[in-house]
Amino acid sequence: MFGMIPFTREENSLWNYLDNMEKSLFTGFGDMSQFRCDIQDKGDHYLLEAELPGFQKEDISLDLNGDTMVITARHNSEKEEKGEGNYLRRERKYGSYSRSFNVSGINTEGIKAAYTNGILEITLPKQAEVAPAARTIQIEG
pLDDT tens for 71-105 read: 999 986 555 555 566 777 777 767 788 999 999 99
Burial 94-119 (b: 16+ CB within 10 A, else e): eeebeeebebeebeeeebeeebeeee
Q: List the domain boundaries for the chain.
A: 34-125
pTM over 0.85: no
Classify domain 34-125 by CATH number.
2.60.40.790
**How sure is the predictor about 45, in pLDDT bands with cuts at 50, 70 and 90?**
very high
Phi, psi (rounded to 5 degrees) for 39? -125, 125
Consecutive H or E run containing 20: helix 14-31
Question: What whole-number distance in Å separates Cα of residue 29 and Cα of residue 31?
Answer: 5
Q: How far apart are the first and last CA of the chain?
A: 84
